[in-house]
Structure 1
Amino acid sequence: MEQWVESFKAMYLNLNADNVEQLKQWYGVDATFVDPFHSVSGIDAIVHYFAAMYENVESIHFDYKWQMSNDDGTVIGWVMTFTHKKINGGKPVSVDGVSHIRIEQGKVIYHRDFFDGASMLYEQLPVLGSMIRFLKKRMAA
């Protein structure tokens, strides 16, 4: 299992808009992928979602921090750093996150990413980002 997870993580380090079809080697036909923005089921929907997501990403990198596995799957902690021409003026954005994956017969059947979508996207937008950061500071005070 541990070697499979290491290979899975390596696949994500090399994933880009030109090779999202390789997800079909890793995910089951009826797999589900969930993140703070979407929930998609079925390998074709997952590939389509990643293709659309990676279409405008200029660069993306995962720095894996830790992982734990048990009978219910594996949880991987990471920091994702990406650049997108329409987010944060094209400058890098880093987001802490966690992925929970469940594997059956060598394929992912469930993958859920947990991260702060507001810090990833909304806080990077010029006007909305300023308002969100202001509200966060007020709530923390």
Structure 2
Amino acid sequence: MVSRDAVATYIDFFENLTPEDLPRFEQVFAADARFRDPFNDARGVEAVRRVFEKMFADVDDHRFRVLDHAVDGNRAYLNWEFRITPRGKKQTLTILGMCTVDFREDGKVTAHIDHYDAASQLYESLPLIGSLMRFIRRKIAAV
């Protein structure tokens, strides 16, 4: 069973993550860790770090905040809000989602799997793709 301290440490790590923290990924993630979201499926701590290196390269500002969480055995469930300002843009995007985070007995993360609606929260904000996504949503919606 993962300790509440390990979960709190992980939450703090992500809520305060900066580019200067990238070298610390080996302290947080197991060597064979997996990170998956709607755009990435990275395996291994180096690949996980590259996902976040790219994120920092693509955004001018970001803020990750855990709204609440629960723990069951070696798994934590995090309900979160992620605010990003894409590089060169003025509009901040807010993404709401949740993730499952699996821990080893020593507190290192073996898997972080994000779940969020990329279509409505990201694609629909893009000029050309957004209008197409909104059209499709209207056509297939029951109400």
TM-align CA RMSD:
1.6
Number of the residue aligned with 1:131 = 132
Read off the aligned partner of 2:86 and give its amino acid letter. H
Read off the aligned partner of 1:116 and give its amino acid letter. D
**Structure 2: distance between partners of 1:16 and 1:118:** 27
TM-score by length of 2: 0.88
Q: Secondary structure at the match of 1:90?
A: coil
Q: Map 1:57-96 to 2 at 5 A.
A: 57-85=59-87, 89-96=89-96
Q: Map 1:94-133 to 2 at 5 A.
A: 94-104=94-104, 105-133=106-134
Give per-residue Cα distances to partners, 1:84-134, cap 9 Å, x unaligned: 036xx4301111111101111220011101111223432121111112123
Once the two structures are TM-superposed, the CA of residue 73 in structure 1 deviates from its matched residue by 0.5
Q: Secondary structure at the match of 1:19?
A: helix
- Checking the alignment, whether the CA contact within 8 Å between 2:28 and 2:108 is kept in structure 1 is yes
Give per-residue Cα distances to partners, 1:13-71, cap 9 Å, x unaligned: 22123432222210011111111111111111111121012211111112322211111
Q: Secondary structure at the match of 1:91?
A: coil
The gaps in structure 1 that reach 5 residues or longer are none
Q: Secondary structure at the match of 1:25?
A: helix
Q: Secondary structure at the match of 2:94?
A: strand
**Structure 1: distance between partners of 2:29 and 2:125:** 31
Once the two structures are TM-superposed, the CA of residue 72 in structure 1 deviates from its matched residue by 4.2
Q: Secondary structure at the match of 2:130?
A: helix
TM-score by length of 1: 0.89
The aligned length equals 139
Number of the residue aligned with 1:10 = 12
- Checking the alignment, whether the CA contact within 8 Å between 2:15 and 2:66 is kept in structure 1 is no
Distance 1:102 1:4, change over 3 A: same
Moved >6 Å (runs of 4+): none
